[in-house]
Structure 1
């Protein structure tokens, strides 16, 4: 049934304020403090679907002018999703006129979030255009030009080159290992920066599961220590977790699906300081550009304002389609799909791991992946993996030089021995071929270095003999 006009459009749900809630007014940037809900957008959303109201306020095309009368989706599992309901078909073709996204999908995301994370504090959900756009909005709301943001030393390259650098923020790199961010390093970076007298860093960006580029999975004990440090120093945590559903073991254990994926920063967020970014991209449909963000109501309200000013909300067609697929699957269908995805990535990771053990063990060090889609290699006989780029291109295998993923951004003077290998895109048959080609290049480099060293040793011996 259509809802009555809402007077609370753009406002978070009213809840009791906890004494330990983060005061976001202390964190908002100049833009964040001034960001308000666009007036016209507010009126349109306020009266969307209202009973007995003649809608002469919005420039929304009439639904009977839309070209689609139904949508039929055929799924890989043999199911068909036939969308024939007039309201759903119309909603898919109209502007998104609801504050938090397509209501049915928003309800699904909210229920799913609570089932997966059970956050202890105040948190609400907003549908977004995906994590990249959401990260950019969150940064704009929290950081002014020239301010510092804490990140892993090696991190998702796009956030550095597409957001942090062009917007004038400065990344403070924190060291990490295969169990995640090192708490001592985080604390050291914070204290060193405080000692300069500048405003302390108040935002941490982290990819805790199947991290891009290192593939690391942050251990629970690490998360607890990092959260405690952030709480003590009043730091907002941006938890970007697109690979959360792509966890697996290279052993014989069956895929776990949605069960036992581990505690998240959101699940321990008693302060309301976590802004969690989730995405349908990695476990469902990357081309749909759809995700959801979970945050404290005060923060979520500002993200909502920014989202509707920027894109007028996520794509309606995408929202309706994804909801209908999830509805057709039900909880068990989604569980089956996630298990299938985990099994696929586990298979790919195992193939790459086996090939690497055969071809790369003399030339690189790595940790077997447990999540995501990347293998992070430290080359033991090469100072800078960028030096190999042309040789790898000639060998017809492409990898990502580690320096590209450094939080400091591109720097030709930086020597970096790491490379990131993806096992997501190449076919199953191509994966060992790619590892073999990489191994051939590293073997030739090693032989060349040995030859150069032998010549140098010979010259030293001859010189010693002469004198």
Structure 2
């Protein structure tokens, strides 16, 4: 296997970032003899911590107990890469699920949800006015990270099967593959995508497309930022899950972002990034300089829960969560068929928490949602928020089925249908006045 060079992907600030001496010394503590006397780090004395032990009750009635020793782990500073027992579990889980071809050259870092990992990765690479290949429609959190850099977006179209490879190639057509070898070239550095249950569309990129997209990334020497918080929420049997980009990565060009937010608890804010060691090392440096370490209590709780469940327990829990959201999706689709047929178009979400609909008979949903939806007691997200150019007209809406009851979905879509009909009448009257004065 050829050795990847990563300098082209790092911006000037990231290249200059150096390790903190204290953080480096702190990491040695793991390898130190048990009777070593530590006079290095300014760690608070555990005798001053107000919490001593605790217990959390699981839905099945079992108790997850945090012993006094575990509580100290919860309340004390931790290593920047993550709580060591949890890191080991995450590495084992990632290897088991994805079997990365470059596993020996890879590493993992715990992040505060996958969002913080994504932020650090993009900040590591972005410079002002960089070209950016980004799936559209796109997760709003990614756009928020990128916006301050005034990026020159190259939107890559997607449909019900995810990102369209031909659209990616068209976006890259102004460059030649060899331009990636020129340090002065403005060729993009990465492709950003949510390949599984994309937020907002719910599309799952097919295996065939993933392989073609990865091949293009290799050809143009691009990284793939695989943002995959909905990986476990694919509404199909696990054996049919398409290969992750990490599983396809024979060259070391994938940074993968995972999260427990959708399957355990979003408030715990535990995610992790997997990727080539040189890039994970830079993310660790950023993390150490910004937050020092992720919240220890969240990491310990997740680790203890995974220990209690074991692999089979985690699989059982994930199946139950997937089944729940699958049922929620079906309830949303029933309500949509009943109230929005003839008014809107949509594809059946293959996973996730959202239904992405096109309101074909109105030119833009922005004012309808922000100015008039409240009167119908229904709140949805206008499609502009998921577009790289939010000033353009957009006919789309994102509806969430994750946290509502079927009854509320029925009520909400009934109100939305009324709102859309009124908006069509309002638009028609405006057009009549403009034409006839």
* TM exceeding 0.5: yes
Q: Deviations over 1:279-315 (max 9, x none)?
A: 0111111001111110011111111111111111211
Q: Deviations over 1:157-202 (max 9, x none)?
A: 12212x1112333322111111111111111111226699951011
Corresponding residue for 1:214? Answer: 201
Quote the residue 1:201 is aligned against: 188
1:197-216 per-residue CA deviation (whole Å, 9 max, x = no partner) reads 95101111100111111111
SS in 1 for 2:51: coil
Post-superposition CA distance 1:251-285 (Å, at most 9, x none): xxxxx4x5543310000000110000000111111
Provide the aligned length of Structure 1 versus Structure 2: 428
State the SS of the aligned residue for 1:294.
Answer: strand
Structure 2 residue 147 is matched with structure 1 residue 165: yes
Query: 2:157 matched to which residue of 1?
Result: 175
Match of 2:357 in 1: 377
Residues 451 and 329 of structure 1, relative CA distance in 2, 3 Å threshold: same
Answer yes or no: is 1:106 the counterpart of 2:87.
Answer: yes
Which of 391, 414, 418 pairs up with 1:436?
Answer: 414
Query: In the alignment, is residue 71 of structure 1 matched against residue 54 of structure 2?
Result: yes
- Check conservation: 1:69, 1:89, Cα contact below 8 A: yes
1:452–1:135 distance in 2 versus 1, CA, 3 Å: closer
The question of 1:25 aligning with 2:7 is answered yes
TM-superposed deviation, 1:49:
6.6
CA contact (8 A) 2:23 2:80 kept: no
Q: 1:419 aligns with which of 367, 387, 397?
A: 397
**Aligned equivalents of 2:44, 2:271: Cα separation in 1:** 26
SS at the partner of 1:61? coil
Q: 1:117 aligns with which of 98, 109, 113?
A: 98
1:443 shift after superposition: 2.2
Looking at secondary structure, tell me which structure has more helix per residue. 2
Task: Give the Cα–Cα distance (whole angstroms) in 1 for the partners of residues 31 and 51 of structure 2.
Answer: 20
Quick one: distance in 2 between partners of 1:192 and 1:184?
A: 14
**Aligned pair partner of 1:236 in 223, 227, 232:** 223
Change (3 A) 1:354 1:231: same
Gapped runs of 5+ residues in structure 1? 1-17, 250-255, 460-467
- SS of aligned partner of 2:43: coil
Would the aligned equivalents of 2:176 and 2:220 in 1 still touch at CA under 8 Å?
no
Check the 8 A contact 1:378/1:419 in 2, yes or no. yes
Gaps of 5+ in 2: none
Q: Which of 114, 123, 144 is the equivalent residue of 1:140?
A: 123
| Deviation for aligned residue 1:439 | 0.8
- In the alignment, the residues of structure 2 paired with residue 370 and residue 27 of structure 1 have an alpha-carbon distance, to the nearest angstrom, of 33
CA positional deviation for 1:332 = 1.8
SS in structure 2 at match of 1:82: strand
Q: Which residue, out of 238, 241, 251, partners 1:261?
A: 241
SS of 2:148's partner is coil
Which of 396, 403, 406 does residue 387 from structure 2 map onto? 406
Instruction: Give the secondary-structure state (helix, strand or coil) at the position aligned to 1:200.
Output: coil
| Superposition TM-score, scaled by structure 1 size | 0.87
What's the RMSD between the two structures over aligned residues?
Answer: 2.2
Partner of 1:149: 132
Correspondence for 1:4: none
User: 2:310 aligned with 1:353, yes or no?
Assistant: no
TM-score by length of 2: 0.93
Report the counterpart of residue 53 of structure 1 in structure 2.
36
Larger of the two Rg values belongs to structure: 1
Look up the SS of the partner of 2:108 in the other structure: strand
Q: CA deviation at 1:99?
A: 4.3
CA distance in structure 2 between the aligned counterparts of 1:191 and 1:38, rounded to whole angstroms? 42
Matches within 5 A, 1:387-406: 387-389=367-369, 390-406=371-387
Report deviation, 1:87. Answer: 2.9
Pick aligned residue for 1:36 from 9, 12, 18: 18
Q: Decide whether the 8 Å contact of 1:152 with 1:407 is kept in 2.
A: no
Change over 3 Å in CA distance of 1:311–1:99 after alignment to 2: closer
In structure 1, C-alpha distance between the alignment counterparts of 2:37 and 2:428, rounded to whole Å? 82
Aligned counterparts of 1:273 and 1:193: Cα–Cα separation in 2: 19
Do the aligned partners of 1:164 and 1:171 also contact (CA within 8 Å) in 2?
Answer: no
Q: Is the 8 A contact 1:174 1:186 kept in 2?
A: yes
Question: Contact 2:43/2:76 (CA < 8 Å) preserved in 1?
Answer: yes
CA separation of 1:71 and 1:371: change in aligned 2, threshold 3 A: same
* 1:271 and 2:251 are equivalent in the alignment: yes
Identify the range of structure 1 (36-45 vs 165-174) with the bigger mean alpha-carbon deviation: 165-174
